[in-house]
Amino acid sequence: MSLPSAAANLVTLAEGAEHGGNHASLNPYITGGGALLALLLLLWITTLFNRDR
């Protein structure tokens, strides 16, 4: 197997050509909203423990 054919096979594998590429479970709005919620929760916890008394 030569280097160009191996690279072509890896690109095909990375694209997920057999499975259609995109997955319905990876909705960008839900993913982004979940990440935003997690970061806001971490920010709230950090400020909760960082208050001057």
Predicted local confidence at residue 2, as pLDDT: 80
Q: What is the pLDDT of residue 1?
A: 67
Report the share of the chain in percent with pLDDT over 90.
36
Q: Give pLDDT, residue 3.
A: 75
The helix, strand and coil proportions of the chain, stated in percent and rounded to the nearest 5, come to: 70, 0, 30
C-beta contacts of 41-47 below 8 A and 24+ residues apart: none
In this structure, are residues 11 and 5 in contact, taking their beta carbons and an 8 Å threshold?
A: no
Q: When comparing pLDDT for 40 and 51, which is higher?
A: 40
Average pLDDT over residues 28-48: 94
